[in-house]
Amino acid sequence: MPSTTPTTGPDREPEARVRRAVEDPEDEGPGIGVLAADSLRALRRVSRDPVFRAATVVLLVALAAKVYVLNASYFVEDDFLFFGAAYAADLTPDYLFSLHKGHFMPGAMFLVYLQTAFWPYDWWVSAGLMLVLQALALLAFLRLTWELFGRRWALLVPFTVYALAPLTIPVLGWWAAALNAVPFQLAILLALLWTVRYVRTGDPRYGWWTTAAVVFGMFFSVKALFLPSLLFVFAVAFLYPGTLFAGAARAVRAHRAFWTAMAAMTLGYLVLYVVSQNGGSGTEGAGVPEADAAVELVRRMLGQVFPVGALGGPYEWALITPAGGLVEPRGFVVLGAGAVWAAIVLSSLWLRGSAWRAWALLLGYLVFVDAIPTVIARGRGHGLAGADPRYVADAALVFALCLALAFLVVREQRARESVSTAGAAPATRAAPGRRARRDRAVAAGVLTAVYAAGALYSTHTYAGTLNGDRLREYMDNVRASMADLPEEGGFYPRPVPEDVVLDWNGDRRLTSYVLPPLAPDGARFAYPEQGPRAYVFDDGGTLVPGEHTLFSSTFLPGPQDECLGTLEGAVSWPALAAGGPQQVATLAYTSDADTQLVVSVGGGWIEAVLPAAPDGGFWHLPVPQQGDRLSLLTEEGGLCMTAVALGRLAPDAEGGHPIPLSQEEPPREGEAGGQE
């Protein structure tokens, strides 16, 4: 057990500190072997502790619930964009430090690149790593509360609140979000744990480990910008004695170098993020929010999602998106949650007058770490973003910690109450009798069990909003197609289904961007080639022949002609060419010998060699240029073009003619502008 040691000095008032006994000289620490042996002994000792065993049961239940959700989930939306971007890039600083929709996360980008290189689209590699990090975060939370309050059965209450928190489930089930949130949760807890040890012992190693934890968090989440501030406020409120102002002064006086380093890290990270933001496209991420959208977002986030979710809700997920359910609780659920919140806060204040510090810490975290950054990043559109529980997932951790801080007494407080020189009045009421303690324990146990039941039910209903089976089936079909690719032909892009990547992502939702990581030769998909046959992926993920849609510009011979006429091998038609990677020109032709061909759209020229096809053949060329005319230049004589089309391709399951030969009013030579 820690010992209470009054620390005095000629220029400072006496203060109570909680320190471990220092057995080694200040300039020498135990070696790695000694630390490992001590850790193993401590692990064996704690494994026999009934409190730890009960916490282990809670941990296993929580992990089982998370596995249940992960089994129903799969890659979706930004996950595919991550793989596509990693495949198209090299592992350079430009890639690692680039922004993704306003997120600065070089650590996450490295993990994405690593998985793209070795395990592309392997769900359980992605989900398994996040699950391991989540388990480590849960163990770190238990260790932090054990460090703060000592061994006691009451630790199971906040541990259960965090372990089963429904607010942490959606962010874990979406890999792109988990890459930010789960490592950040672990960073918060490790930084808090090592800050406690540093303040208590003054051991500089804990200061360095705290710094490493903060850097780790900054490598995964922009929210880590506020982590040094959280550490300082937490330490001043609960570790240093006296009022908040006196505690802040003592913190600076006692550990000036440590807190100065924390402030420098905040400033440096802010500068790095602003530089990266200015270097981006500016179309995504931070921006000036719109007032109406910002108000709606904050109302949903702080008035509905967090109050209900922190208490085990929302029980049902009314708004369903491709990435899972959002929170839209009914009015009576919100009112009930408000009543429970009032009861929790008031009872804590009645038991401990200083409990207000814990709730002030939680409120400040919600406003400054969750609400304001989300408004800046998502406040330019609709306020519906506030219904997404992923934006307050980390607040579930802070709530569980503040719940413990509001009702339990940290070791520093107990020490100050027992040392007369501390000069601090007791902050709690007289110790309750045995019956009162038993009644409180029973009430806490019942309420925790009710919370656990509600949280597990919310987790179960959330899993029902996921369409992992559909997405997994799509990717399984893609893998099957990739395993038996035709040797000849071009693989042309088209959008993946909406439930895979949303339409507003533009060209990043094309198969040429999303699917190359799975291909043996991804370049054939990323950069489509010319070929005698055209293939596209259908909406089920199967590679099938492609055909032009009725929206393509199609040119056919006149009623009395077999071939499209040319003037000395040249022909040109007016055609609305929108351009882009999906645009393809297709020629149906006959030729007794190989023939040179030049295709021109919008001033750009594409050369091709049409192989001999005396019985008829097709040739497909990617034409990304934009323009208002399609021009062809061929060798005069020997080539008969029976149809030409310019536009996008769609799946043709029957594998028929790739150019639509019958329309309500097919454009003929003269009707389409004739030949020039």
pLDDT at 561: 86
Token representation of residue 274: 């602003």
- Cα–Cα distance measured from residue 437 to residue 446, given in angstroms and rounded to the nearest whole number: 14
Q: What is the mean pLDDT of the chain?
A: 87
The answer to whether position 12 is within a domain reads no
- Cα–Cα distance measured from residue 1 to residue 7, given in angstroms and rounded to the nearest whole number: 18
Same domain, 261 and 390: yes
The answer to whether position 57 is within a domain reads yes
The answer to whether position 8 is within a domain reads no
Contact status, residue 405 vs residue 358, Cβ threshold 8 Å: yes
pLDDT at 660: 83
Cα dihedral 527, 529, 535, 539 in deg (nearest 10): 10
pLDDT in tens, 294-334: 999 999 999 999 999 999 999 999 889 888 999 999 999 99
The least confident of 5-19, 42-56, 470-484, 489-503 is: 5-19
- More confident position, 550 or 96: 96
Among left, alpha and beta (phi > 0; psi -120 to 50; other), residue 568 is left
The answer to whether position 319 is within a domain reads yes
The least confident of 42-46, 116-120, 442-446, 457-461 is: 42-46
Same domain, 459 and 581: no
Over 50: is that where the pLDDT of 10 sits?
no
Which letter does DSSP use for residue 301 in this model? Answer: I
What residue has token string 């590679």? Answer: 543
Same domain, 198 and 329: yes
| Nearest residue to 207 (alpha-carbon basis) of 217, 220, 198 | 198
pLDDT at 279: 56
pLDDT in tens, 510-526: 999 999 999 988 899 99
Over 70: is that where the pLDDT of 195 sits?
yes
pLDDT at 381: 72
Same domain, 555 and 455: no
pLDDT at 1: 36
Identify which of 219-233, 492-506, 636-650 has the greatest average pLDDT. 219-233
- Cα–Cα distance measured from residue 230 to residue 238, given in angstroms and rounded to the nearest whole number: 12
| Nearest residue to 117 (alpha-carbon basis) of 95, 96, 89 | 89
pLDDT in tens, 66-102: 999 999 999 999 999 999 999 999 999 999 998 887 7
- More confident position, 236 or 657: 236
Over 80: is that where the pLDDT of 209 sits?
yes
- Mean pLDDT computed over 194-207: 95
pLDDT at 604: 86
Contact status, residue 458 vs residue 166, Cβ threshold 8 Å: yes
The answer to whether position 459 is within a domain reads yes
The answer to whether position 661 is within a domain reads no
Same domain, 459 and 585: no
Token representation of residue 560: 């009395």
- More confident position, 16 or 92: 92
The string of DSSP codes covering 347-392 is: HHHHHBGGGHHHHHHHHHHIIIIIIHHHHHHHTTS-GGGGG-GGGG
Domain that includes residue 380, residue range: 44-282+294-417+449-464
Over 80: is that where the pLDDT of 33 sits?
no
H-run or E-run covering 61: helix 50-72
Q: How many helices (H) and strands (E) does the chain have?
A: 24, 18
Contact status, residue 623 vs residue 548, Cβ threshold 8 Å: no
pLDDT in tens, 587-596: 999 998 999 9
Residue at which a domain ends, from 464, 492, 527: 464
| Nearest residue to 582 (alpha-carbon basis) of 468, 492, 515 | 492
What residue has token string 């088209």? Answer: 494
The answer to whether position 496 is within a domain reads no
Same domain, 460 and 599: no
Over 80: is that where the pLDDT of 564 sits?
yes
Radius of gyration of the CA atoms of the chain, in A: 32
pLDDT at 36: 64
Cα dihedral 235, 252, 23, 211 in deg (nearest 10): 70
Domain with residue 582: its CATH number is 2.60.120.260
pLDDT in tens, 574-633: 998 888 999 999 999 999 899 999 999 988 889 999 999 999 999 999 999 999 999 999
Over 70: is that where the pLDDT of 669 sits?
no
pLDDT in tens, 280-298: 554 555 667 788 889 999 9
The answer to whether position 483 is within a domain reads no
SS3 per residue for 475-544: HHHHHHHHCCCCCCCEECCCECCCCCCCHHHHHHHEHHHHCHHHCCCCHHHHCCCCECCEEEECCCCCEE
Number of residues that this document lists for the chain: 676
pLDDT at 441: 86
Over 50: is that where the pLDDT of 461 sits?
yes
Over 60: is that where the pLDDT of 24 sits?
no
Same domain, 454 and 579: no
Q: How many CA atoms lie within 13 A of 581 on its CB side?
A: 20
Token representation of residue 393: 């997932």
Residue at which a domain ends, from 464, 498, 530: 464
pTM of the model: 0.87
User: Looking at the 3D structure of the chain, how many domains does it have?
Assistant: 2
- Mean pLDDT computed over 498-509: 90
pLDDT at 187: 98
The least confident of 393-397, 432-436, 456-460, 558-562 is: 432-436
Token representation of residue 208: 């360095």
Which residues are 633's β-sheet partners?
A: 570, 598
Residues 6+ apart with CB under 8 A from 19: 2, 3, 5, 200, 201, 202
pLDDT at 413: 73
Contact status, residue 642 vs residue 616, Cβ threshold 8 Å: yes
- Mean pLDDT computed over 10-26: 44
